[in-house]
Amino acid sequence: MASLQLNLKPFKTPTPFKHTSSSTPKWGKIQCSATSTKKKSYNITLLPGDGIGPEVVSVAKQVLNLTASLEGIEFKYQEMPVGGAALDLTGVPLPEETLSVAKQSDAILLGAIGGYKWDANEKHLKPETGLLQLREGLGVFANLRPATVLPQLIDSSTLKREVAQGVDLMVVRELTGGIYFGKPRGFGKNENGDEIGFNTEVYATYEIDRIARVAFETARKRRGKLCSVDKANVLEASILWRKRVTMMASEYPDVELTHMYVDNAAMQLIRDPKQFDTIVTNNIFGDILSDEASMLTGSIGMLPSASIGDSGPGLYEPIHGSAPDIAGQDKANPLATVLSVAMLLKYGLQEEAAAKRIENAVLETLDKGFRTGDLFSTGMRLVGCKEMGEEVLKSIDSQRLAAV
């Protein structure tokens, strides 16, 4: 079985406002080798959100519980509303109580946010505003998005086999600055009386320095290559970005730094993605490039992410959207959320052995030919969200049996 290498170092639909404790997974009673010692206990905030979010978070919670039972870990959960679900319950996309609970936890798992139902809302009442507020409130400024083409899924990529094979890259996206948060912003009229909308792309040196440091450290732990993506031939904010990243390179002589304009980077990701190891870029460019990179792998339904800051809990989520067109139909791919749980364990809790169990179980499940609709091809077995989760649980459980 191939090894899933993200190169990282260091459920029954949830009900909002419902506090639950970890329970024994349905795979039976697990004899934990750590029963003689006190279990490590962690508080996890679950934010199922909208659309397929509750479905994939439910699967991920089951996976987390079974893995915990094998590793002598205990999880306590608190489920809170965010996005459209919060709008329907409280009238705002991020209730103060949700942010407060999230800040007090050890890690946060988010499902998905948004849906057609709220598309016509004013901006401050859109579900996506709640996500931006959550990231800002948690201070998670670095978004890590791995894109690895697994051997089992190489034929699912839209690229030729020889181009996609061996792709393994990480996008480090600045998450709380740039044009998404810059001021001034708003609406007005120009000198001709035409209505205008305007946003500001702005970065301070400290914002660039801290994301650059995360990127250099990440590249150092991978293959030692960092490509900084900007638009320094046009944008002043990018000129400063390139200057600061270049200055920091002297602190990392073991990392090879290159620069690339964003339009060329978008082209190169399709032409020759294997040239990239670690990419660092601003908020809006990272948003676009990481979604493009996800399609190299065959489906956005396979891509996890971690959002981290200088302190406090991290936010872990699949990079796919809420997919309201398939919500409630058991068609969602839960693997991106399951792999986000692996990142939560590895990054947020430093439980690397537990994370590895999950990564191995995902690979084993794919080796057996199980595929949700987004990954399905002739000769594979088509399954839904719940069954895919059950197969991952079986693979995790088989690790216990193999060790007995």
Q: Which residues are catalytic?
A: 180, 231, 263, 287, 291
User: What sign does the CA torsion over 273, 278, 282, 288 have?
Assistant: positive
Q: How far apart are CA 127 and CA 398, in angstroms?
A: 40
Q: Exposed (0-12), middle (13-18) or buried (19+): which is 176, by Cβ within 10 Å?
A: buried
Specify the amino acid at residue 356.
K
184: preceding bond cis by omega (within 30 degrees) = yes
Q: Find, among 176, 153, 178, 179, the residue nearest to 164 by Cα.
A: 153
Q: Exposed (0-12), middle (13-18) or buried (19+): which is 55, by Cβ within 10 Å?
A: buried
- Cβ atoms of residues 139 and 247 within 8 Å: no
- Cβ atoms of residues 6 and 146 within 8 Å: yes
User: Which residues pair with residue 281 across a beta bridge?
Assistant: 173, 229
Q: Where would I find the beta strands (DSSP E) of 93-159?
A: 107-112, 142-148
User: What sign does the CA torsion over 306, 307, 309, 313 have?
Assistant: negative
The residue behind tokens 């079985």 is 1
Q: How far apart are CA 56 and CA 304, in angstroms?
A: 12
The residue behind tokens 């997974």 is 25
Q: How far apart are CA 200 and CA 357, in angstroms?
A: 44
Helices (H) and strands (E) in the chain, counts: 12, 15
Distance of CA 179 to the CA centre of its chain: 21
The residue behind tokens 């010692």 is 37
Identify the helix (H) or strand (E) that includes residue 216.
helix 205-220
How many CB atoms are closer than 10 A to CB 204? 11
User: What sign does the CA torsion over 153, 157, 162, 163 have?
Assistant: negative
